[in-house]
Amino acid sequence: MGQNGHMNDLGTILCKHCGEVIDTVDTDNVVTFYSSCKNDHCNELNSEVLFNDSEG
């Protein structure tokens, strides 16, 4: 069963930094989405990426 209580969720949300499964979502196909988890280290990495992208 997925973390949000659904049994047949085909979509998975992974942390783009550490690979932790953040959640699953109900989708029609197998899909992987990437986001950032709430781990302090991953939040720091995400902030660095956003800062570097904004510098142009």
Domain extent listing, the chain? 11-54
Confidence class for position 4, pLDDT limits 50, 70, 90: low
Burial 28-54 (b: 16+ CB within 10 A, else e): eeeeeeeebbeeeebeebbeeeeeeee
Q: Which residue has the higher pLDDT, 52 or 2?
A: 52
Predicted confidence (pLDDT) per residue in 7-55, tens digit: 679 999 999 999 999 999 999 999 999 999 999 999 888 887 777 777 7
Alpha helices in 1-56 (DSSP H): 40-54
